[in-house]
Amino acid sequence: MMEMYDELIIAEKPSSARKIAQALAESKVITKRHGKVPYFEIERKGKKIAVVGAAGHLFGLAEKEKVAYNHYPVFDVEWKPLYVVGKSATYTKEYISAIRMLSSKAKEIIIATDYDIEGETIGFNILRFICNRKNAKRMLFSTLTKDDLVRAYENARPTILFGLAEAGVTRHILDYFWGINVSRALMSAVKKAGRHFILSSGRVQGPALKIVYDRELEIRRFVPTPYWKLSIEVMGVKAEYEGGKIEKEVVARDLHKKVKATKHARVAEISRKKKKHNPPAPFNLNDLQAEAYALFKLSPKQTQDIAQKLYEMSLISYPRTSSQKLPRTIDFRKILHGVSKISQYQSVVAELLNKRLLIPKEGKKEDEAHPAIHPTGEVPQNLSKNEAKIYDLIVRRFLACFMEPAEKMLTKVVFDVNSVKFIATGVQVVHEGWYRAYKPYLRSKEVELPAFTLNGTYPVEKVKLEKKMTTPPDRYTAASLVRELEKRNLGTKATRAEIVHHLYERKYIKGNKIEITPIGEKVVTILKEHAERIMDEDLTREFEEKLEKISRGIAKSNEIVGEAKDHLISVLNKLKENEEELGKELVYSIKDMESKERVLGRCKCGGNLIIRKGKSGKRFVSCDTYPKCKISYPLPTKGQIIPTGKVCETCGTPIIRVIMRTEGKKSSHWFICLDPNCKKKK
């Protein structure tokens, strides 16, 4: 007789399935396997329950019938198992088989995937394509702790979130239409010009790249203008000219001369005022990514991946949230008691637990699905270095938002030097408040001033007139680009980091301070000229708003998909008409980028040292003025070679970075100069 289950709970991943089983089981959790896929049998309130995890998405969109890779437009698509879509996803076949077997034995299905648009899409596809059912119950939770999971199970919704699922399916269709068609148009053009090079663009990727391009143009067009800064030093304290920037040289010289004419400064004014510094709001995903980049130089994608792991370990709440709010339904005291078991937080937690009320400082941003990121109170075990950093940052931010404002004393001293005024400012913390919790990550410093007296005179130790130039706008970093996408409502909290990562992968952008590459620039200019509407962030934003309406049940998917097709068809026809010309332009940019990538620095003769390959296939470096200059150096036989722009102080040759990637292991890297005989190496 076939073994039956009263309920089958389907989670997004095996690790989540294990957590759910452990939380709900009233006795022992029995672990079984279907092939390599684990599932868990438990009993609860007389019910026999199976819990199984998927492996994220098990289905993806693909063409109904396979056509040549340079064929476009493509609109006839369907959902297929991922193992059919791509060879790299063969592992998903066993997950589909396991879920199909278990669902055939289950009276009732409960979907317990992540509570967001992707999680709902994953659950919806599993339900209709594997379980062959029209509906299921839905567990909604923000942490993988026992209390939250039990509450989610006991209060499961009677149906899945059909509006959110339809919005998720529509998003995938739109992204596929944009990605496959525009990417194929670009690659087909390159193929016609005799090259093979992977290019892509997408519904959000295109506008994101254009943001970088526009900033690049701002920087290039920027014309620096001179200005002057005048300062003095009194008792070791630097004081700046009260008027700030001096835009005319003649004025700057006159003031400088006037100040130099006297040797003393009179204290014309001393004022002090206290200033409150309120606690920060708890983290949402984008705030966490920005802070982690500023403090640890972790990319947004690295931070997102680490936060996801911490969530799966039950250490923090769901990280893909835009909320800066902590609802009062969260048991703050219980979390604090858990956190108090970790030594570095004990003194701050003790202070908070003595409060009668725990009211967090919150920000303005909300998320219907999830609260701000917060610790669960579970004690971490065996975290990696970066996991420990992100966990500590989240905990300290959470603690800080319950604490009193910090208080600073700002002291302003105005010096009069021959009727020219200068200002020195001192900053002292007089009440630490939330600084006590967040101190390791504070970036402002105290500035202590000597005890100046009003109308007292003091010798002027230095007078400095500096000529400076105005600077162009800052380049984006990965973190600030993610924040810019959020500000412009492009992409989602879960996809923005991935989009920036793809721009790097496609070699459209480079560097920590992001520069657009020749091929990135050419993709933008071509799409601007021939497909301007699909590069328009307003259009992308319009579709995001329509997806939101689908999730709320006030717009229909087929209408929005039809509208997207109409936009794309007109654009793709124009690209196809100009394919040959576009291909030549793209190939020229590819060659330009590749030639620049080969340059490692300047030769001693003034030429460029470039990477070359010998007849044996081994890499070496030589001067591009050969045979006039015959300088050459060997290179490591393996690894990616990246120029650093720095020069060895000992031998004067360029310093390169070598990155070695080994499958299944972390990449290693080191810095070396080119000269194998450099004395520093000995």
Residue closest to 333 by CA, chosen among 377, 281, 378:
377
DSSP letters for 132-158: --S--EE---SS-SHHHHHHHHHT-BS
- CA 53/CA 40 separation, integer angstroms: 9
Q: Is 633 a catalytic residue?
A: no
Short-list 376, 397, 264, 253, CA closest to 313: 376
Catalytic residue among 318, 345, 508, 633: 318
Residue 117 phi, psi dihedral angles, 5° rounding: -65, -35
Is there a contact between 193 and 583 (Cβ–Cβ < 8 Å)? yes
Which residues, in sequence order, are CB contacts of 214 under 8 Å at separation 6+?
none
Q: Which residue stretches of 506-643 are H helix?
A: 518-530, 532-535, 537-551, 557-577, 579-598
Cα(221)–Cα(149) distance, integer angstroms: 56
Cα–Cα dist 320/317, whole Å: 9
> What SS3 state is found at 447?
strand
Q: Mention every residue, 6+ apart, whose C-beta is less than 8 A from residue 680.
A: 648, 650, 651, 673
Angle (CA) 588-589-591 rounded to 5° is: 65
DSSP conformational letter for 282? P
Hey, is 482 helix, strand or coil?
Answer: helix
How far are the Cα atoms of 239, 632, 645, 675, 679 from residue 649, in angstroms, in the given order?
36, 19, 13, 12, 11
* Residue with tokens 């403090």, as numbered in its chain: 295
SS3 (DSSP) at 31: strand
Task: Give Cβ neighbours of residue 392 (< 8 Å, ≥ 6 apart).
Answer: 344, 440
Contact 348, 437 (CB under 8 A): yes
Burial of residue 335, with CB atoms counted within 10 A of its CB: 0-12 exposed, 13-18 middle, 19 or more buried:
buried
| Distance, CA of 292 to CA of 110 (rounded, Å) | 36
- In what helix (H) or strand (E) does residue 19 lie, and over which residues does it extend? helix 14-24
Contacts of 608 (CB under 8 A, 6+ apart): 599, 601, 602, 623, 624
| Cα–Cα distance for residue pair 17/139, rounded to 1 Å | 12
The answer to whether 549 and 555 are in contact (CB under 8 A) is yes
Q: Would you say 42 and 30 are in contact if contact means Cβ atoms under 8 Å apart?
A: yes
> CA angle at residue 254 from 253 to 259, to 5 degrees?
95
Catalytic residue numbers, as ranges? 318
